[in-house]
């Protein structure tokens, strides 16, 4: 069980385990604070295997803060395309530019770094501890799961204020000689051993000090309330082709869901006839008969799109505006497209 100085042993065993067993990941081969910052933003709500190719491309394309700070928005979005949460990359660029212009580098100061755009409590703690060895808490979902089990913390981890409890716990436990290995050790443990379901307790280096393991409660922690389920929204897409082989695309509003990204004409209705009315009105078209192209569901965090896509030819080609235009297939690929639009594109044009 827990001896009086169990915390000392806990941090020793955890950091030793991490230094020995850690996965070899691209962002663990650098001590460049800016590159580590990029990796932490990409890893927000996104899996390691997904991030790796994006991280490699991004650090090659934007090797210095200056390169990213003044990169063209459209090109930046293109390099983020498919990663999701597109405000992350806009905020990252704003934060990097601010840091570059104010400090000329990533500030090695948690309070200054935390003030930058897109840097929240987690990212601040992660970058400061990993890049500079500053003892700061980096509490993500993994850390809350691991510590809720080790310390038998029963607060609802879905509630915002619960994070502070875990930050205090981390500051009580953290290895001040190696905050980087301590924080990453907690996260690595959560990712590979102390998993949400069926944790591998027999492989766990710290099970000796784990309250949940001793009480056989590892499967019932952490406590997490359910969020309400998403609403379903019908989307009727009409991929409109002109007689000379161009396709009509429209740009989404600059705010909100999939801000600024391009799509085939879309109406929020499950009724094709209503969609035709809205889209012909919006783009001044004269549509031929609809041909069913593809039907699928697209899941967002708080919404589900039920997409039904058709293909049609228009004899009238309307007036292109700043937010819509007629594009050849190869031109479409240079626009920033959300995944649902890519699916429709592949169905009507071919991947």
CB of 284 to DNA, least distance (A): 28
Catalytic hit among 12, 21, 40, 81: 40
CB of 43 to DNA, least distance (A): 4
- Considering the complex, state which of residue 140 and residue 218 has its C-beta at the smaller distance from DNA: 140
Round to whole Å and give the CA distance between 91 and 119: 8
Round to whole Å and give the CA distance between 55 and 129: 20
Where do the H-state alpha helices sit in 221-294?
Answer: 272-283
The tokens describing 62, both together, are 């934007």
CB of 50 to DNA, least distance (A): 5
Round to whole Å and give the CA distance between 147 and 185: 12
CB of 304 to DNA, least distance (A): 7
- Strand pairing category for 231-241 and 266-267: antiparallel
Round to whole Å and give the CA distance between 61 and 49: 20
Round to whole Å and give the CA distance between 163 and 143: 10
Nearest alpha carbon to residue 125 among 189, 65, 182: 182
Rounded to the nearest 5 degrees, what angle is found at the Cα of 341, between the Cα atoms of 339 and 347? 105
Number of helical H runs and strand E runs in the chain: 15, 8
- Considering the complex, state which of residue 285 and residue 337 has its C-beta at the smaller distance from DNA: 337
163: part of which helix (H) or strand (E)?
Answer: helix 162-173
- Considering the complex, state which of residue 15 and residue 184 has its C-beta at the smaller distance from DNA: 184
- Considering the complex, state which of residue 287 and residue 337 has its C-beta at the smaller distance from DNA: 337
- Considering the complex, state which of residue 5 and residue 231 has its C-beta at the smaller distance from DNA: 231
Round to whole Å and give the CA distance between 209 and 14: 11
DSSP per-residue letters across 19-37: HHH----GGGS---HHHHH
DSSP-derived letter for residue 325 is E
CB of 315 to DNA, least distance (A): 33
- Considering the complex, state which of residue 175 and residue 246 has its C-beta at the smaller distance from DNA: 175
Round to whole Å and give the CA distance between 242 and 189: 55
Helix pair angle (33-42, 121-132), 10° resolution: 140
Round to whole Å and give the CA distance between 43 and 143: 14
CB of 295 to DNA, least distance (A): 12
CB of 225 to DNA, least distance (A): 9
Residues in the chain: 351
Round to whole Å and give the CA distance between 134 and 139: 15
- Considering the complex, state which of residue 54 and residue 326 has its C-beta at the smaller distance from DNA: 54
Contact between residue 300 and residue 227 where contact means Cβ atoms under 8 Å apart? no
- Told to judge if 40 belongs to the known catalytic residues of this protein, a careful annotator would answer yes
Which spans of this chain sit near DNA (rule: CB under 7 A)? 25, 27-28, 39-40, 43-50, 82-88, 91, 117-124, 126, 140-142, 145, 159-161, 184, 187-188, 190-191, 196-198, 224, 226, 228-229, 256-259, 297-304, 338-340
Residues labelled as active-site residues: 40
């Amino acid at each position: 069980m827990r001896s009086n100085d169990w915390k000392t042993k806990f941090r020793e065993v955890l950091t030793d385990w991490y230094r020995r067993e850690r996965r070899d990941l691209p962002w663990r081969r650098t001590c460049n604070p800016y590159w580590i910052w990029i990796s932490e933003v990409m890893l927000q709500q996104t899996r390691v295997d997904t991030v790796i190719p994006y991280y490699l491309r991004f650090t090659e394309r934007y090797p210095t803060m200056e390169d990213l700070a003044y990169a063209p928005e459209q090109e930046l979005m293109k390099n983020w395309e498919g990663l999701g949460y597109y405000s992350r990359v806009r905020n990252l660029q704003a934060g990097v530019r601010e840091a570059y212009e104010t400090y000329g580098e990533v500030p090695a100061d948690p309070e200054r770094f935390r003030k930058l755009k897109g840097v929240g409590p987690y990212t601040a703690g992660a970058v400061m501890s990993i890049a500079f060895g500053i003892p700061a808490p980096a509490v993500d979902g993994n850390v809350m799961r691991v510590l809720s089990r080790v310390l038998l913390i029963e607060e609802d981890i879905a509630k915002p204020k619960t994070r502070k409890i875990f930050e205090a716990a981390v500051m009580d436990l953290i290895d001040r000689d190696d905050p980087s290995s301590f924080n990453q050790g907690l996260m690595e443990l959560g990712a590979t051993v102390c998993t949400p379901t069926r944790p591998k307790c027999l492989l766990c280096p710290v099970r000796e000090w784990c309250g949940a393991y001793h009480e056989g409660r590892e499967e019932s922690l952490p406590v997490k309330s359910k969020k309400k389920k998403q609403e379903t929204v019908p989307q009727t897409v009409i991929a409109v082709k002109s007689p000379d082989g161009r396709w009509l695309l429209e740009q989404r509003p600059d705010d909100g869901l999939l801000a600024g990204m391009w799509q085939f004409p879309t109406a929020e209705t499950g009724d094709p006839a209503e969609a035709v009315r809205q889209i012909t009105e919006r783009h001044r078209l004269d549509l031929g008969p609809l041909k069913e192209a593809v039907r699928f569901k697209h899941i967002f965090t708080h919404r589900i799109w039920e997409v039904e896509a058709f293909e049609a030819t228009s004899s009238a080609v309307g007036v292109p505006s700043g937010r819509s235009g007629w594009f050849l297939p190869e031109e479409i690929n240079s626009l920033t497209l959300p995944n649902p639009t890519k699916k429709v594109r592949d169905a009507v044009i071919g991947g």
